[in-house]
Amino acid sequence: MSYKNKRGSAIRAIAGAAIALAALIAVIAVIGDPAGRSPRTANSGAGTQPTTQSVATEATKETESTQKPTESETTTTAETTTTVETTTSETTTAETTVAGDGKAMNPKNYEEAIDTEREASKRVYLTFDDGPSVHTNEILDILKKYGIKATFFNIGVTNEELKAAEKRAYDEGHTLAIHTITHDYEQLYSSFDAWKADVLGEQENIKSNTGITTKYYRFPGGTSNSKGAKYGTDISQCVNWLDENGYLFFDWNVDSRDADGKTYTADQLANNVIESVTGSEGEDFIVLMHDAKPKTTTVQALPKVIETLKSEGYTFCQITDNTKQIHHHLYEG
Ligand SMILES: [Zn+2]
């Protein structure tokens, strides 16, 4: 064999070995692929995808929760300090929204409630004052039918059926809030101490009936009421007490006008709400309605309000620590 031939056969041998090696690698790859990679991919898919999603969700939450206080800060007036305090720390606020024995949340589905608020671009909060009443169960049925939650600013009741309706509202995930025991302006605004006793008394009513406490409050007559001045209570002192004791109070920026002297039909009440919401630029609408015995038309107006605003892209939310606090100006005489 010549040198040239030798070299040629050596090259062929190397080439042959290389081809064999390549073939072997290919075979290993083919065998290894379905046996090894696919399950690993499936596993990693199952393992990493939710992680990625939850990271994304957290990131979204952070971004949104830092945006929200800014909105609130710029739009609230007198109670800026409270607003900042209650909206900057998601973890703290969630933990402090404990009630009763420190374990129960109000609303019951707190995390879901704040998620619903965050994911919405335009939020409508239906709030019902002065219940529970003979209409509470009808209202709850309607809310359930449409799969939405609301907020109830309640008064003191002793009737067992009404107490059961209040408990049902909590059990079905709505926000419970304090309004007053008696709704007797002359009595509850007769002094600061009388007002405070009224707040704490209604807190006790809710606690004994449902097992939870609540940090949400609405002044009878609203923060801007003239009854305090008339009967001897400085509402700003009440506001300070609420702030110092961890309460959040809410007025409204949409009035259904179901408590006006004029009696509206159900259709007119629905239009009062719909026109007020859709005719405004804001993103957060707290709607004043009443859950009281004479307010049959309020109940009848609900389906139209809900259907129309849903179709217009609004999301129905319930009050939480993250809700923009709508505050009226204090009455100045
Ligand atoms: Zn009221």
Distance 135 CA to ligand 1 centre (A): 15
Distance 43 CA to ligand 1 centre (A): 57
**Burial of 155: CB neighbours in 10 Å, binned 0-12, 13-18, 19+:** buried
Distance 53 CA to ligand 1 centre (A): 44
Structure confidence by residue, pLDDT tens digits, 30-56: 333 333 333 333 333 333 233 223 333
Between CA 68 and CA 194 the distance in angstroms is 35
Beta-sheet strands, E only, within 64-150? 98-99, 104-105, 123-131
pLDDT of residue 261: 86
- Compute φ and ψ for 113, nearest 5 degrees: -65, -45
Query: One-letter amino acid identity for 195?
Result: W
Distance 46 CA to ligand 1 centre (A): 52
Structure confidence by residue, pLDDT tens digits, 277-302: 999 999 999 999 999 999 999 999 99
Distance 251 CA to ligand 1 centre (A): 11
Distance 3 CA to ligand 1 centre (A): 110
pLDDT of residue 88: 31
Distance 185 CA to ligand 1 centre (A): 10
Distance 134 CA to ligand 1 centre (A): 16
Partner residues linked to 104 by β-bridges: 99
Between CA 13 and CA 106 the distance in angstroms is 80
Report H helices in 33-76.
38-75
- Compute φ and ψ for 248, nearest 5 degrees: -115, 130
**Burial of 308: CB neighbours in 10 Å, binned 0-12, 13-18, 19+:** middle
Between CA 140 and CA 145 the distance in angstroms is 8
b vs e for 67-88, b when ≥16 Cβ sit within 10 Å of the residue's Cβ?
Answer: ebbeebeebbeebeebbebbbe
Which residue bears the tokens 């965050």? 118
Between CA 79 and CA 308 the distance in angstroms is 33
pLDDT of residue 175: 98
Which residue bears the tokens 């007198």? 78
pLDDT of residue 103: 60
Report the predicted TM-score, pTM, of the whole model to 2 decimal places.
0.71
Task: Locate 92 and state its tokens.
Answer: 């703290």
Between CA 90 and CA 198 the distance in angstroms is 30
Distance 323 CA to ligand 1 centre (A): 20
Distance 15 CA to ligand 1 centre (A): 93
Residues measured by CB to lie within 5 Å of ligand 1, the ion: 129-130, 220
Spell out the residues 6+ positions from residue 154 whose beta carbon is closer than 8 angstroms to its own.
130, 131, 132, 166, 176, 177, 178, 179, 202, 205, 206
Distance 156 CA to ligand 1 centre (A): 12
pLDDT of residue 102: 53
SS3 for 8-44 is HHHHHHHHHHHHHHHHHHHHHHHHHHHHHHHHHHHHH
Distance 80 CA to ligand 1 centre (A): 25
Half-sphere exposure of residue 91: CA atoms within 13 angstroms, side-chain side: 2
What structural domains does the chain harbor?
Answer: 1-75 (no CATH), 89-317 (3.20.20.370)
Distance 90 CA to ligand 1 centre (A): 30
- Compute φ and ψ for 19, nearest 5 degrees: -65, -45
Distance 61 CA to ligand 1 centre (A): 35
Q: Give the three-state DSSP class for 284.
A: strand
Distance 333 CA to ligand 1 centre (A): 21
Distance 130 CA to ligand 1 centre (A): 5
Distance 77 CA to ligand 1 centre (A): 23
Q: Is 133 in contact with 291 (CB distance < 8 Å)?
A: yes
Distance 35 CA to ligand 1 centre (A): 69
Q: Is 77 in contact with 143 (CB distance < 8 Å)?
A: no
pLDDT of residue 333: 81
Distance 255 CA to ligand 1 centre (A): 13
Q: At what angle do helices 296-311 and 136-146 cross, to 10 degrees?
A: 10
**Burial of 120: CB neighbours in 10 Å, binned 0-12, 13-18, 19+:** middle
Distance 138 CA to ligand 1 centre (A): 19
Classify residue 328 by its DSSP letter. Answer: P
Q: Is 171 in contact with 165 (CB distance < 8 Å)?
A: no
pLDDT mean values, one per 10 residues, the chain (333 residues): 44 46 42 34 30 30 31 30 31 37 80 97 98 98 98 97 98 98 97 98 96 96 96 97 97 97 95 98 97 97 98 98 96 87
